[in-house]
Structure 1
Amino acid sequence: MTENPPSSWQPGASRQELVELVRSQLEALLQQENFPGAKALLVPVQAADIAQAIEGLPMAMQALAFRLLSKQEAIEVYEYLDSSVQQSLIEELKDQEVLDIVDKMSPDDRVKLFDELPASVVQRLLQQLTPSEREVTSLILGYKDGTAGRIMTTEYLSVKEDLTVSQSIDRVRSLASATEIIYYLYVTDAQRRLTGTLSFRDLVVAQPEQKLGEIMTRDVVYVHTDTDQEEVAQVIQRYDLVAVPVVDTERRLVGIVTVDDVLDVLEEETTDDIYKLGGVAAGGDKYFQTNVFTAARKRVVWLFVLLVANTGTATVISSQEEVLEKVVALAAFIPLLIDAGGNVGAQSSTVVIRGLNLKEVGIKKAAQIVSREAVTGALLGIALGLAVILWAYFIEKNLQIAITVGTSLFSITMLAAFFGSALPFLFGAMGLDPALMSAPFITTAVDVLGVFIYLMIARAILQI
Structure 2
Amino acid sequence: MAIDDIKQLLEEKRYAELKEKIKDMQIQDIAEIVDELDTKNAIILFRLLPKEIATDVFSYLSSERQSEISMMIDENELNEIVSDLFFDDKIDFLEEMPANVVKRILRNTSEAERKLINQFLQYPEYSAGSLMTIEFVDLKKEMTVAEALEKIRRVGRDREIVYTCYVTDAWRKLEGIVSLKDLVLASPDTKVEDIMKKDVIYVDTYDDQEEVADVFKKYDLLAVPVVDQEKRLVGIITIDDIVDVIEEENTEDIQRMAAIQPTEEEYLDATPFMIARKRLLWLLILMISATVSGYIIRKYQVALEAVVALAAFIPMLMDTAGNAGSQASVTVIRSLVLGELKFGDILKVILKEAQVGVLAGVALALVNFIRVYFVEGYGFGIAITISLSLIFTVIIAKIIGGTLPMIAKRIGLDPAIMASPLITTIADAISLTIYFSLAVWILHITM
- Give the counterpart of 1:238 among 200, 215, 218: 218
The answer to whether residue 426 in structure 2 is matched with residue 451 in structure 1 is no
Give the aligned partner of residue 16 of structure 1. none
Written as runs of structure 1 = structure 2, the 5 A alignment for 1:186-197 is: 186-197=166-177
In 1, Cα distance between equivalents of 2:44 and 2:143: 49
- The 1:59–1:395 alpha-carbon spacing in structure 2 relative to 1, beyond 3 Å, is farther
C-alpha deviation, 1:454, in angstroms: 1.3
Amino acid paired to 1:320: Y
The answer to whether residue 273 in structure 2 is matched with residue 332 in structure 1 is no
Give the aligned partner of residue 422 of structure 1. 403
- Give the counterpart of 2:415 among 403, 415, 434: 434
> Residue by residue, what CA displacement relative to the aligned partner does 1:201-221 show, whole Å, maximum 9, x if unpaired?
001011112111222112222
List gaps (5 residues or longer) in structure 2.
none
- Give the counterpart of 1:380 among 343, 357, 360: 360
**SS of 2:182's equivalent?**
helix
C-alpha deviation, 1:98, in angstroms: 2.8
In the alignment, is the contact (CA less than 8 A) between 2:227 and 2:234 conserved in 1? yes
- The 1:456–1:362 alpha-carbon spacing in structure 2 relative to 1, beyond 3 Å, is same
The answer to whether residue 82 in structure 2 is matched with residue 102 in structure 1 is yes
The answer to whether residue 361 in structure 2 is matched with residue 390 in structure 1 is no
> Residue by residue, what CA displacement relative to the aligned partner does 1:347-383 show, whole Å, maximum 9, x if unpaired?
1111111111121111111222122212211221111
C-alpha deviation, 1:102, in angstroms: 2.3
- The 1:293–1:378 alpha-carbon spacing in structure 2 relative to 1, beyond 3 Å, is same
In the alignment, is the contact (CA less than 8 A) between 1:107 and 1:136 conserved in 2? no
How large is the Cα RMSD of the aligned pairs?
1.8
Give the aligned partner of residue 403 of structure 1. 384
In 2, Cα distance between equivalents of 1:321 and 1:273: 39
In the alignment, is the contact (CA less than 8 A) between 2:354 and 2:398 conserved in 1? yes
In the alignment, is the contact (CA less than 8 A) between 1:160 and 1:187 conserved in 2? yes
Give the aligned partner of residue 160 of structure 2. 180
In 1, Cα distance between equivalents of 2:232 and 2:15: 50
> Residue by residue, what CA displacement relative to the aligned partner does 1:292-332 show, whole Å, maximum 9, x if unpaired?
22222222221121111222222222332222222222111
Give the aligned partner of residue 253 of structure 1. 233
In 1, Cα distance between equivalents of 2:272 and 2:27: 31
In the alignment, is the contact (CA less than 8 A) between 1:136 and 1:154 conserved in 2? no
- Give the counterpart of 1:342 among 313, 322, 329: 322
List gaps (5 residues or longer) in structure 1.
1-5, 7-20
Written as runs of structure 1 = structure 2, the 5 A alignment for 1:23-34 is: 23-34=3-14
The sequence identity of aligned pairs, in percent, is: 39
In the alignment, is the contact (CA less than 8 A) between 1:47 and 1:73 conserved in 2? yes
- Give the counterpart of 1:87 among 60, 64, 67: 67
C-alpha deviation, 1:341, in angstroms: 0.8
C-alpha deviation, 1:267, in angstroms: 0.7
**SS of 2:264's equivalent?**
coil
C-alpha deviation, 1:48, in angstroms: 0.9
Give the aligned partner of residue 344 of structure 2. 364
Amino acid paired to 1:355: S
C-alpha deviation, 1:59, in angstroms: 4.0
C-alpha deviation, 1:121, in angstroms: 4.1
In 1, Cα distance between equivalents of 2:278 and 2:14: 43
Give the aligned partner of residue 15 of structure 1. none
In 1, Cα distance between equivalents of 2:85 and 2:113: 9
In 1, Cα distance between equivalents of 2:321 and 2:401: 10
In 2, Cα distance between equivalents of 1:400 and 1:253: 73
- The 1:343–1:92 alpha-carbon spacing in structure 2 relative to 1, beyond 3 Å, is farther
In 1, Cα distance between equivalents of 2:54 and 2:110: 19
- The 1:185–1:438 alpha-carbon spacing in structure 2 relative to 1, beyond 3 Å, is same
> Residue by residue, what CA displacement relative to the aligned partner does 1:413-450 show, whole Å, maximum 9, x if unpaired?
11111111121122122211111112111112211222
- The 1:328–1:119 alpha-carbon spacing in structure 2 relative to 1, beyond 3 Å, is farther
C-alpha deviation, 1:123, in angstroms: 4.5
In 1, Cα distance between equivalents of 2:12 and 2:443: 79
- Give the counterpart of 2:201 among 210, 217, 221: 221
C-alpha deviation, 1:175, in angstroms: 0.7
In the alignment, is the contact (CA less than 8 A) between 1:381 and 1:411 conserved in 2? yes
C-alpha deviation, 1:266, in angstroms: 0.7
In 1, Cα distance between equivalents of 2:105 and 2:418: 41
In 2, Cα distance between equivalents of 1:113 and 1:287: 21
Give the aligned partner of residue 323 of structure 1. 303
In the alignment, is the contact (CA less than 8 A) between 2:201 and 2:225 conserved in 1? yes
In 2, Cα distance between equivalents of 1:372 and 1:292: 43
In 1, Cα distance between equivalents of 2:40 and 2:353: 54
In 2, Cα distance between equivalents of 1:222 and 1:132: 26
In 2, Cα distance between equivalents of 1:135 and 1:71: 28
C-alpha deviation, 1:281, in angstroms: 0.9
Written as runs of structure 1 = structure 2, the 5 A alignment for 1:147-226 is: 147-226=127-206
**SS of 1:250's equivalent?**
coil
The answer to whether residue 120 in structure 2 is matched with residue 140 in structure 1 is yes
In the alignment, is the contact (CA less than 8 A) between 1:107 and 1:153 conserved in 2? yes
In the alignment, is the contact (CA less than 8 A) between 1:103 and 1:133 conserved in 2? no
The answer to whether residue 22 in structure 2 is matched with residue 38 in structure 1 is no
In 2, Cα distance between equivalents of 1:336 and 1:242: 50
- The 1:42–1:410 alpha-carbon spacing in structure 2 relative to 1, beyond 3 Å, is same
The answer to whether residue 41 in structure 2 is matched with residue 61 in structure 1 is yes
